[in-house]
Amino acid sequence: MTPENLPMGILFFSQTAVGILGNWSVLLHYVMSVITGKSLMPKDQILKHLTLANSLVIISRVTPHIMVQLGVQYLLDDLLCKLTLYSNRVSRGVSLHCTCLLSCFQAITINLSHSRWMKFVHSFSKYMVRFCSLSWLVHLLLNARAAILVIGSNTNKNFTRKIKLGYCSASSSGNTVTVLQLFLLCFTDGLCLSLMVWASVSMVSILYRHKSQLQYIHNPQHSLRVSPEDKATKTILILVCTFVFSYSMSFILVIYTNVFDNPRLCIINIFTFLDTCFPTFCPFILINNNQSIPKNHFPCCNRR
């Protein structure tokens, strides 16, 4: 590792260690619950898939950049480049869908908790696992062609245009299949982001009305009481805001690598680090705000 690559290498190592530790601790809790026969709540079913997807995002996203910082990028041949990019695209899409599903489920729950539509929430909960499993299948199919177009950075092949990704490259193809694939990906991402915005606005309005109602209660014990629904809503709003920030960094990085023929590796590394903030800090947000997840794995959370 050269001296100029040392700070970024340490940063990527730290991010990977923290993210894997947090996600695998949460995932281990859900795995042990399944082994012991404990039934998971609908929200926990979503969080289980979200944690698994975030772990794959960190491994597939950061590991190639660590190899570049170590100077062993020659090990990233065509097959390894295809596997890392394909797994990153799939896990990132599943993470988007699970975050969207989580925010929509929470918005529906707090909206309908005192109405006759509560039966709809119970029916929706029964198909939670199927929705999450279907998300994996959909993204496995949508991103299959993207893996075909990825090549190793040291591969000598003639293409009309190469898009450099920092550690690998991708051939630019403008045929009908590629355009259709991009349209489907943009459509699904846009739909999920729109639903997340709707759910976030809905939850914020409910929290505002709830806070306004509490102002009329003169008992200080009631004014300090926070309902589990409000606490869960605030947690999901933090997750959504963090995800939107990471998604924006990823979108800017895609534009940068497509516009410039020779993108600078340092800029790619910075946006990659910011892009991976959501899967890194997501488990710690869940641990601090979810009572079903034990905090004894993290002494700092116990002190809080």
| pLDDT tens digits for range 119-142 | 666 666 677 778 888 889 988 988
Q: Give yes or no for a contact between 33 and 9, defined as CB atoms under 8 angstroms apart.
A: no
- Higher model confidence: residue 184 or residue 168? 184
Domains, the chain, with CATH or none: 3-303 (1.20.1070.10)
Tens of pLDDT along 15-39? 899 999 999 988 888 888 878 877 7
Residue of 304 and 139 predicted with greater confidence:
139
- The Cα 164–Cα 175 span in angstroms is 20
Q: What is the pLDDT of residue 91?
A: 92
Q: Please provide the distance, in angstroms rounded to a whole number, between the alpha carbons at the two ends of the chain.
A: 38
- Residue 78: pLDDT band by 50, 70, 90 thresholds? confident
Bridge pairing between strands 150-152 and 162-164: unpaired
| Statement: residue 300 has pLDDT above 60 | no
pLDDT averaged over every residue in the chain: 76
Section 289-297 average pLDDT = 54
**What is the Cα–Cα distance from 66 to 60, expressed in whole angstroms?**
11
Q: How confident is the model at residue 54 (pLDDT cuts 50, 70, 90)?
A: very high
How far from 179 is each of 128, 165, 170, CA to CA, in Å?
31, 20, 15
- Report the pLDDT value the prediction gives residue 275, as an integer from 0 to 100: 86
Task: DSSP for 135-197, please give it.
Answer: HHHHHHHHTHHHHHTEEETT-----S-EEE-SSEEEE---SHHHHHHHHHHHHHHHHHHHHHH
pLDDT band at 116 (very low <50, low <70, confident <90, very high): low
CB atoms within 10 A of CB 176: 7
**Closest listed residue to residue 181, CA positions, set 135, 138, 130, 132:** 138
Q: Given this model, what pLDDT does residue 51 score?
A: 92
Higher pLDDT, 7 or 93: 93
Q: Write the pLDDT tens digit of every residue in 273-285.
A: 888 888 998 888 8
For the cut 80, the answer to whether the pLDDT of residue 252 exceeds it is yes
Instruction: Say which residue, 20 or 294, is predicted with more confidence.
Output: 20
Q: Is the pLDDT of residue 53 over 90?
A: yes
Integer Cα distance of 53 and 76 in angstroms: 22
Helices (H), the chain: 6-35, 42-70, 78-112, 118-126, 128-142, 144-148, 176-214, 220-223, 228-259, 265-275, 277-289, 299-303
Using 50, 70 and 90 to split pLDDT, how confident is the model at 241? confident
Contacts for 44 with CB less than 8 Å, ≥ 6 apart: 30, 33, 292
Q: Where do we find the tokens 């910075």? A: 270
Instruction: Give the span between the Cα atoms of 112 and 90, in whole angstroms.
Output: 33
pLDDT bracket for residue 52 (50, 70, 90): very high
Q: What percent of the chain has pLDDT over 70?
A: 71
Give residue-wise pLDDT tens across range 178-215. 677 778 878 888 888 888 888 888 888 877 777 676 66
* Least confident span in 207-216, 248-257, 263-272: 207-216
